[in-house]
């Protein structure tokens, strides 16, 4: 699903992990609405390759209990089309609008060398080369130019760190730590408007699933009118 290399490959821009005590669940998409009369659904996929949402076995609702076998049937308007087992008519498909779909993290392929899932990076302690703490990785973003670590909680405040070998020379997930070698200017206090913009971008990224859900619901209404 969402993983990145340094330098980062293009990846999906959002993920959410939930834990039920024994298993981590990764959000791979959200139902955008129905298509046609036979129960086909439109899904906003959060995986790096949109159709890969069907590669990890059954998908689950957020309760971790309701599950669906998924079969990808096509693509439309930036979304994937799919059939979910047991969803056989438009009413049932419409009832799922906005539902987030999860897979167990254990179903995802193991990252390759120097490759990391976004969810593995969030929460890691961020230290400078001299051992001074910069905070923790709050979120990982990809706005199109490569992965960026959002680090908060240190004296420098919010720092947006390019996830490259040069800037992040060490990643030790098992030790819960990344080491940052900041280029000149990275830790300089940004002007107020820049801090506000960074904070806004972070909030937009963290809330992207909700936003996507709203967009999807609006798209579904529009598509329904078009049909």
pLDDT value at position 210? 41
Give the whole-angstrom CA distance, residue 166 versus residue 23.
34
* Residue 172: CATH number of its domain: 2.30.30.240
| pLDDT band at residue 13 under the 50/70/90 scheme | very low
* Residue 31: CATH number of its domain: 2.40.30.60
Tell me the C-alpha to C-alpha distance, in Å, between residue 153 and each of 121, 157, 170: 16, 6, 20
Whether residue 102 lies inside any domain: the answer is: yes
Q: Please check whether residues 48 and 83 belong to one and the same domain.
A: yes
141 burial (CB, 10 Å; 0-12 / 13-18 / 19+) is buried
Give the whole-angstrom CA distance, residue 71 versus residue 54.
6
Whether residue 25 lies inside any domain: the answer is: yes
Give the whole-angstrom CA distance, residue 10 versus residue 144.
7
Give the whole-angstrom CA distance, residue 134 versus residue 195.
17
Q: Please check whether residues 126 and 105 belong to one and the same domain.
A: no
Whether residue 211 lies inside any domain: the answer is: no
Of 109, 142, 159, the residue at which a domain comes to its end is 109
Query: What's 38's DSSP letter?
Result: T
Token couple for 166: 């040069």
Whether residue 223 lies inside any domain: the answer is: no
Q: Please check whether residues 146 and 192 belong to one and the same domain.
A: yes
DSSP assignment of 106-173: GGSPPP-TTEEEHHHHTT-EEEETTS-EEEEEEEEEESSSSEEEEEEEETTEEEEEE-STTT--EEET
Q: Please check whether residues 83 and 179 belong to one and the same domain.
A: no
Q: Please check whether residues 148 and 201 belong to one and the same domain.
A: yes
Confidence check: pLDDT of 37 > 80: yes
C-beta of residue 214 within 8 angstroms of C-beta of residue 220: no
| pLDDT band at residue 142 under the 50/70/90 scheme | confident
Whether residue 104 lies inside any domain: the answer is: yes
Q: Please check whether residues 102 and 43 belong to one and the same domain.
A: yes
Is beta strand 100-104 parallel, antiparallel or unpaired with respect to 24-35? antiparallel
Q: What is the pTM of this model?
A: 0.60
Report the Cα 10 to chain-centroid distance in Å: 12
Helix, strand, or coil (residue 217):
helix
Query: Poorest-confidence range of 4-13, 49-58, 163-172?
Result: 4-13
How much is the average pLDDT of 202-223? 43
Query: Poorest-confidence range of 42-51, 120-129, 132-141, 212-221?
Result: 212-221
Q: Please check whether residues 9 and 81 belong to one and the same domain.
A: yes
Give the whole-angstrom CA distance, residue 169 versus residue 140.
17
Whether residue 93 lies inside any domain: the answer is: yes
Give the whole-angstrom CA distance, residue 201 versus residue 132.
26
Measured over the CA atoms of residue 217, residue 220, residue 225 and residue 226, the dihedral's sign is positive
Q: Please check whether residues 128 and 92 belong to one and the same domain.
A: no
Percent of the chain beyond pLDDT 70? Answer: 72
Q: Please check whether residues 103 and 166 belong to one and the same domain.
A: no
Q: Please check whether residues 75 and 167 belong to one and the same domain.
A: no
Q: Count Cα neighbours of 165 within 13 Å in the Cβ-side half-sphere.
A: 6
Q: Report the number of distinct structural domains present in the chain.
A: 2
Q: Please check whether residues 76 and 152 belong to one and the same domain.
A: no
Whether residue 224 lies inside any domain: the answer is: no
The range of the structural domain enclosing residue 39 comes to: 3-109
Q: Please check whether residues 83 and 133 belong to one and the same domain.
A: no
């Amino acid at each position: 699903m969402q993983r990145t290399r340094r330098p980062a490959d293009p990846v999906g821009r959002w993920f959410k992990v939930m834990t039920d005590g024994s298993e981590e669940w990764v959000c791979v998409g959200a139902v955008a609405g129905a298509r046609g009369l036979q129960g086909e659904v439109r899904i906003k996929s959060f995986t790096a390759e949109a159709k890969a949402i069907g590669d990890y076995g059954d998908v689950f609702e957020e309760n971790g209990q309701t599950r669906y076998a998924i079969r990808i049937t096509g693509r439309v308007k930036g979304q994937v089309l799919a059939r979910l087992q047991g969803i056989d008519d438009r009413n049932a498909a419409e009832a799922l609008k906005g539902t987030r779909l999860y897979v167990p993290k254990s179903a995802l392929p193991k990252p390759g060398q120097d490759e990391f899932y976004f969810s593995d990076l969030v929460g890691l302690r961020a230290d400078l080369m001299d051992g001074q703490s910069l905070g923790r990785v709050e979120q990982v973003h990809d706005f199109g130019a490569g992965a960026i670590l959002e680090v908060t909680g240190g004296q420098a405040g919010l720092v947006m760190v390019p996830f490259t070998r040069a800037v992040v020379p060490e990643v030790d997930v098992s030790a819960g730590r990344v080491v940052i070698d900041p280029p000149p200017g990275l830790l300089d206090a940004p002007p107020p408007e820049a801090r506000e913009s960074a904070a806004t971008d972070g909030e937009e990224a963290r809330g992207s699933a909700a936003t996507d859900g709203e967009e999807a619901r609006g798209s579904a209404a529009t598509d329904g009118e078009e049909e």
